[in-house]
Amino acid sequence: MNAAIARPLILRILVWALIIGVVLWLNGCEDGRIEDTERAIQQNYFLQSLSLVESAGQILMRPQLRDDDVQRAMQRMDLGLEQARKVDDGFLEQLDERLADEYRDKFVKGVEEYRLGVESSDRERQLQGLGRLGQWGEYWKRLKPEVLRTLEAMNLPQV
């Protein structure tokens, strides 16, 4: 994994975790605020996983792909997979009852299969992974507007 890509992302996550921890400590760690913080962290993991894998795919679709482009895309895919594994099914189920199953079965397994296919030069496995990711894309395309509205509503301050 390229330290130049991983280090800023990990550092950003750690800084946010530290800030969130200090804010919670200063505010007396009320249960509602802890839940809000946990939900915000889960939201970040979920959205980062999608963004990183999507950016990897965009790199891989470029014409005249170079070896360093492929390496950068695989690093982003690995980081996206790392974020995806941190997403709690309960959080996803709050957004949509089927989202956790679809996310794990289509998105996460698709990325894993594709990655393993690339590592082993197994074209069949790469295609299986891409097939799952295509299924995820169709599902997510329909669900995305509703999920983003739900996330926005969750992030509004409770009056």
Percent of the chain at pLDDT > 90 equals: 62
Confidence of residue 18 (pLDDT cuts 50, 70, 90): low
SS (H, E, C) the chain: CCHHHHHHHHHHHHHHHHHHHHHHHHCCCCHHHHHHHHHHHHHHHHHHHHHHHHHHHHHHCCCCCCHHHHHHHHHHHHHHHHHHCCCCHHHHHHHCCCHHHHHHHHHHHHHHHHHHHHHCCCHHHHHHHHHHHHHHHHHHHHHHHHHHHHHHHHHCCCC
Instruction: Report the pLDDT value the prediction gives residue 106, as an integer from 0 to 100.
Output: 97
Burial class (CB in 10 A: 0-12, 13-18, 19+), 113: buried
pLDDT score of 158 more than 90: no
pLDDT score of 94 more than 90: yes
Confidence of residue 25 (pLDDT cuts 50, 70, 90): low
Least confident of 9-13, 22-26, 50-54, 136-140: 22-26
pLDDT score of 159 more than 50: no
Instruction: Report the pLDDT value the prediction gives residue 119, as an integer from 0 to 100.
Output: 87
Three-point CA angle 104, 13, 138, nearest 5°: 30
Region 80-84: mean pLDDT is 96
The full set of domain ranges for the chain reads 3-25+36-155
Q: Which of 119, 120, 126, 121 is nearest to 57 (CA)?
A: 126
Instruction: Report the pLDDT value the prediction gives residue 108, as an integer from 0 to 100.
Output: 97
The model carries a pTM of 0.76
pLDDT in tens, 102-143: 999 999 999 999 999 988 999 999 999 999 999 999 999 999
